Every structure is written in structure tokens, then in C-alpha cells.
Chain A
Amino acid sequence: MTLDLATITLRQAMTGLDNRDFSVFELTRETLLRIRATEPDLHAYVEVFEEDALKTSLYHDRAREAHKARRPLMGLPIGIKDIFDIAGKKTLCGSKLRDGVDVAAYDAETVHRLRRDGAIFTGKTVTQEFAAGVVSTPCRNPWDLDRIPGGSSGGSAAAVAIGTCLGAIGSDTGGSIRIPASVTGTVGLKPTYGRVPLKGVYPLSPALDTPGPIARSVADALILYLVIANRPSEVAHVDAMLEPFGPKSLAGVRLGVPTSFFTDNIQPDVSASYLVTIEMLRSLGAEVIEVDWADAPAARSVAALINRVESSAVHHDHIRGDEAGLIDPHTRLRFEVGALVPGDLYLRARMAREAVRDSVAHVYARHKLDAIVAPTLAATAPRADHLIVDLPNGPEDVGPALTRLTMPWNATGQPVISLPCGFDHDELPIGLSIIGKPDDELGICRIAHQYEMATNWFQTHARTDAV
């Protein structure tokens, strides 16, 4: 197997290392060289751990030669969003407020699990300030450097898309894994809320925050998920878990296709791609059922209000002290407004959260659904110098435009995988979301994998010469 970081997946790199097609040191060195070559334009990393990564790679090569117990991610380069603590490194959260912060004493629990299972950390990836937003300045989109990579896990997605790591960890509070995955042509998995620990992750809204992977294929995303969900023994069985079942591989699978909220006011290219995708899923044998979840707008509102109030509480001292001026004005406004929302409305939002969870559960039960499929976003990547999204009903600010379709699933806490399903007229990636029942990450990965195998989207990569 050739070591081509433009195209290789995490799963393929595992095979390459096992077959001794290349060493861990060679994989690490090539990854670091690629970071050097692309970072001046891409800005996906806050800090690159060159020395640590090379040292660790030599350790893993020796361990492989000594036939020590194999760990699932042994020697694979992984990026970490800069709100996760890595022992001995600063967690800057994309904020000037944290410039003088001490290095973290311990790994975040997710980082610990990745390290324990053999990952090599390439560096800290760029996040929107305190993970509150969708732009991820200064990082750019590898498909078009004039465009944003989405956020808040924009650096993680951009690095995966261009091949300066083979997988990355992000977090999703209102769409922060799925939005960058969608606009960078990568695969993002938001696990079920509460199933991946938040210890050592700088909070935004603890009732919604969900760590998860961004990867180059569904299999890669599942591998990383199994590690951070503390199920590493299952990684060896991922191929069997996702085994294709032939030309009608989705026979017997019931997929809900939501109307109105998820299909109104989306860009025409996104809409066209979505319709083609539905037909493709049907051709794979899935039974496609039109469903109406009338409470979707309310679910979005529940997540929005909880997010605002909790993030304000997290930053209580920051917005009241002399340092408030160091926070980006838009971020500061979000936090300030959360402090002004009456407390009873926050508690009512928490009550309504259970109501929208129960109402979507009724949709699944009524139609005996295995999953719902919907566009991840209403749009493709906006330009970095014009943070307005053109939609059929008129222009909309980038924040609400990109989170409209993602936030309802933060309210319900269901697992969602976003994967590429086409390109728009500017050759920018479009994302499809598959939304599962709680704790059915494997189910949505199976459906996503069958679709992925039937198309060539995941084999289409951002061009390095654009970077």
C-alpha cells in the first residue's frame, strides 16, 4: 500500500502498518511534512506537536517489532480540538482570555482513551472561540481557501479533509461536529448525548456538549467512536460490523424522510443532491417513508435557549470582569444575553426538551423507523469575507443558517452521522445526516456505510494544490 496522505483512510493506514508497507515513523514524518506544507494557507492547527509525535512514533515502531500487545490506534495520527485537555499542553479554546493559562495537568478522558489505545497526537486544532460559533477563524476550507471550514470544530475537519491527520476529535453542542464535516466533505459522528465523557473538555453548554470524531470514512468514524466510548475491543470487528450485504444492502431498513422544516428554505443544489440521495437509498433497498415531525422548530428553540443560558453561566466571571473586552464581541454578546434570560424559561426549556424527545420517539415508533435522513445543512460553505448565507427565502446570518437543521438533534440527544452526498455548482461538498435512535450509533454507521460504498463521494478529496 502506498502512503498517500491525500487519500488514505485511517482504516487503510492500520492495514498498511500491519503489513509493514510503511512504519509508524514514516507515517508520522509524512503527516508532519504535510502539515508544514499546508498550514501556511490552511491554519487548521493552533499548535503542532512535532517532537512529541516523532518520539512516540519510534516507541510504537519498537513496540510493533517486539510484538507487544496490539492497541487499536497504534501509531495513527490524530488531531485534537483545542478545548480538550492534553497533559502538558495549553488548552487555549481559541480565546485571548486564555493566553496566559497554565498547561493542563491531565488528559481529558477522551484524550486519555485515545492515548491508551495508541493514537499519536499531531497537535491542537483550531476551534471557534470557546466552541461558540461556526466560523473557526483563522482556519479555512481546503476545498476553497476563500471559504470557512464550519465550526466550531473547523480545524479538526479541515485537517482531516486535507490529510494532516487521519482522524480528529471535535465536540458538538449545536452542530459543531456535523457542520464542519458537511462543508469539508468529511464524516462527522455526534454520539448519543451523555455517552462520551466530558471530563477535561472546556464546557460550552454541559446539557448539550457531546464529544465525537471527524474522519475520512464511516469506518474511520466508527473506529474512533469505539475508542472514545471505551469500547476498544470492538475495533477489530469494525469490518464485520459494517459488512456490505450486496446490491440491495439496505433491504428491510426503514428510513424516515422529514418534510417542511428540514426541506424548506435550503439551497437548490443541496435540495437536488438530497433528492438524488433519497433515490439512491431507495435503490439500495431501503423503504423510504415521508414523515412529519411538527416539533422540529420547537426542538431547535429548546437547544438554542439552553445553550445560551448555560454558556452564560460557564462564562459568568468572564463577562463581568475587566477581561470581558478580550472576548470576541459576537461571542460576548451570546454570553451576556444568556445572563438576561429569566431562570424559569431555562427550566421550561428543560421540560420542553423531554417533550420534543418524546414526540420524535413517537415518529420513530409510529413508522417503525430505523433512522431519519435529512440534509445536514441548508447550505454549502459560505465565503469567509461574507458571512451571510443566500437561501431561497433571503439572506441569513451564517450562525442561524448553518445551525437550523442541526440543533434539533442536540435537543433530543440522538446520535447523528453526517457524510458527503454530493457537490454544489462551485464543487463544494454537501452533507447528508442519518439520525438514529438513542444508543444506535452502529445502526446509523451501517446505513451510512452502505450508502458510502454505493457512491464515490468519500473517494473525492480536497485538492492539495489548492492549498
Chain B
Amino acid sequence: MPDSPSPNTPEPITADDLRVLLGIAGLTLSEDRAPDVLAELNAQLEHARQFDPLLKGARNPDFAPYNPAFPKIAIEDDAE
């Protein structure tokens, strides 16, 4: 986990941000449910921060359908 958010991942969402996002997404939300949604949304952004460091230096993706097959890997030294 990086000490500070990567420039590629947004800062935590505030209640004001949430209202804007809800409007863009076309969602309506009662006041009493907003805190739960805000907490869960920030949890998702935390997930993004978790994997973001893996993308440093990543090539541009082609977004082909995901293939779980492992790539061919050459290991130079012997396995322990």
C-alpha cells in the first residue's frame, strides 16, 4: 500500500462529491442511506489504490477478453 494515493487514483470521496456523482449516474438516494454508500464507495477506491502500484510501467492494454492462461516464463536460476 503506497503512503500517498497514486496520481491515477482519486482522493477519498466526500458527501458533496457523492451528490454530484449520484446526479451523473442518474441515481437517487435517501439521506439515511448516503453514509453507507459513501463508505462503500471509498472502500472501492481503496481497492484501486491497492492494485494501482502494479500498473507502473504497464504497457497500453488492448482489452482483449481475459485469458487466464499463464504466460511462458523463463527462470534462469534453479528453483529452491
Where the two chains meet, the residues of A that have a C-beta atom closer than 8 Å to any C-beta of B are 192-194, 207, 289, 295, 297-302, 304-305, 308, 319-320, 329, 333-334, 336-342, 344-345, 347-359, 361-362, 364-368, 412-414, 437-439
Contacts and interface: CB of A to CB of B under 8 A. Distances in A.
Interface in B32-74: 33, 36-37, 40-41, 44-48, 50-55, 58, 61, 63, 65-71, 73
Given A308-B44, A368-B79, A194 B51 contact: no
A342 B10 contact: yes
B55 A352 contact: yes
Contacts of B66: 193-194, 207, 350, 353-354, 413
B8 to A, nearest CB: 7
Contacts of B58: 351, 355
Q: Please report whether the interface of chain A is mostly helix, strand, loop or mixed according to DSSP.
A: helix
12 contacts: A193-B68, A295-B54, A298-B50, A301-B46, A301-B50, A333-B37, A339-B27, A341-B48, A345-B44, A348-B52, A352-B52, A358-B71
User: Which of B10, B70, B73, B79 has most A Cβ within 10 Å?
Assistant: B70
A357 B10 CA distance: 25
Nearest to B58: A351
Nearest to A195: B68
A340 B69 CA distance: 31
Contact of B26 (A320, A342, A368, A413): A320
A340 B68 contact: no
Contacts of B80: 289, 367
A341 B41 contact: yes
Contact of B70 (A320, A333, A339, A364): A364
Contacts of A319: 27
Size bin of chain B's contact surface = 35 or more
B25 A339 contact: yes
Closest 10 A-B residue pairs measured CB to CB? A413-B68, A301-B47, A361-B70, A301-B50, A352-B51, A365-B73, A355-B54, A298-B51, A438-B68, A339-B25
B61 A305 contact: no
Nearest to A414: B68
Contacts of A289: 80
Contact of A337 (B8, B9, B41, B50): B41
Contacts of A193: 66, 68
Interface of B: 8-10, 13, 18, 21-22, 25-27, 29, 33, 36-37, 40-41, 44-48, 50-55, 58, 61, 63, 65-71, 73, 75, 79-80
Nearest to A357: B68
A437 B41 contact: no
B47 A305 contact: yes
B70 A351 contact: no
Given A333-B33, A341-B41, A342-B10, A361 B71 contact: yes
A440 to B, nearest CB: 10
Contacts of A299: 51
Given A193-B66, A344-B8, A361-B70, 15 more contacts: A192-B68, A301-B50, A305-B47, A337-B41, A338-B44, A339-B25, A341-B44, A348-B55, A350-B63, A352-B55, A357-B68, A358-B70, A364-B70, A366-B75, A367-B79
Contacts of B47: 301-302, 304-305, 349
A438 B50 contact: no
A339 B48 CA distance: 15
A238 B50 CA distance: 42
Nearest to B8: A348
A366 B33 CA distance: 48
Contact of B21 (A340, A353, A362): A340
A438 B70 contact: yes
A326 to B, nearest CB: 15
B42 to A, nearest CB: 10
A354 B33 CA distance: 35
A348 B48 contact: yes
Contacts of A413: 66, 68
A385 to B, nearest CB: 21
Contacts of A329: 33
